[in-house]
Amino acid sequence: CLRTLTVLKFANYGFDIQYTNEPNGSPNGKLPYLLLPNGQAIASNNVLKHLEQSGHTLPESKLNSEIVYCTMVERNLVPIVEYIMWVDSVGFEKIGNGRYLSDYPPFVRYMLGWFKSTSVAHDLRVRQPEYGAALDGQVLYDNAIRVLDSLLVLLDDREYLAGGPSQLDACVFACLNILIEAPVESPIRNALLHTDSKYEPLVAFALRVAEKYF
């Protein structure tokens, strides 16, 4: 949700937010989605195409290898966010269950939570078999740390990773924001926030985006 919201903010696209736990109005049955005044619903994976068609494109990326970094983030940073929110037992109770399913009656909340957790774990295993049948959390953390190292080098002393607001910046910001704000202790959160962390520039990047656009 935050990733799509950030892309819309970067593109200066006017919209109102309506919070819901019901994905049924979306074309692909997933949240978030964009509902146009004419009633047309745009799935999150088609938001960029809609922005281009409506004249609200993102600034042109100055990073030739942006797609490579986006793929790296999708494969290694997004999974750790999903793992912490829906698979890790503490994260599930505090974030997945606590934030996203709290409006449901206890039994319904339990069933929805179980289905979501199982689905996320299954998807992670299918997408990346190297995590193993047991879905080794340490492997996910190690992969995420290596990506943070690469992003740290890429960012250097620039304001944005891709030289300006981009898909990559939106995705990384969304991941970092969740990892930083999540009320769950984890190796990656500790690496980001401990005193004299080498990842302080990435944390500062996330804070800048949050302050400027939110």
- Answer whether residue 29 shows pLDDT above 60: no
Asked if 205 and 6 count as a contact pair (C-beta separation under 8 A), the reply is: no
* pLDDT at residue 30, as a whole number: 64
Ranked by mean pLDDT, the top range of 42-46, 95-99, 104-108, 188-192 is 188-192
Confidence of residue 123 (pLDDT cuts 50, 70, 90): confident
* pLDDT at residue 27, as a whole number: 58
Which segments of the chain does DSSP mark as H helices, in order?
A: 2-10, 47-53, 66-76, 78-86, 89-91, 97-100, 106-127, 137-155, 167-181, 187-193, 200-213
Rounded mean pLDDT, 167-188? 91
Dihedral sign, Cα of residue 154, residue 180, residue 206, residue 9: positive
Count CB neighbours of 156 within 10 A: 8
- Answer whether residue 26 shows pLDDT above 60: no
* pLDDT at residue 183, as a whole number: 82
- Answer whether residue 43 shows pLDDT above 70: yes
Task: Look up residue 209 and give its DSSP letter.
Answer: H
Domains of the chain: 2-53 (no CATH), 66-213 (1.20.1050)
Confidence of residue 4 (pLDDT cuts 50, 70, 90): confident
Q: Between 206 and 91, whose confidence is greater?
A: 206
**Going by C-beta distance under 8 Å and a sequence separation of 6 or more, which residues neighbour residue 20?**
31
How far CA 46 is from CA of 43, 92, 161, in Å, comes to 5, 28, 23
In this prediction the pTM is 0.85
- Dihedral pair phi/psi, residue 43, rounded to 5°: -65, 155
- Dihedral pair phi/psi, residue 42, rounded to 5°: -110, 120
Rounded mean pLDDT, 14-28? 61
Condensed to tens digits (0 to 9), the pLDDT of residues 85-113 reads: 999 888 898 888 888 888 888 898 889 89
Report the SS3 class of residue 26.
coil
What is the maximal distance between C-alpha atoms in the chain?
51
d(CA 73, CA 202): 14
d(CA 105, CA 205): 39
Mean pLDDT of the chain: 84
- Using left for φ > 0, alpha for ψ between -120 and 50, and beta otherwise, residue 39 falls in left
Q: Between 33 and 29, whose confidence is greater?
A: 33
d(CA 41, CA 115): 25
* pLDDT at residue 9, as a whole number: 87
DSSP states of 35-69 as a string? E-TTS-EEEGGGHHHHHHHTT-PPPPPS-TTHHHH
**What end-to-end distance do the CA atoms of the chain give, in Å?**
14
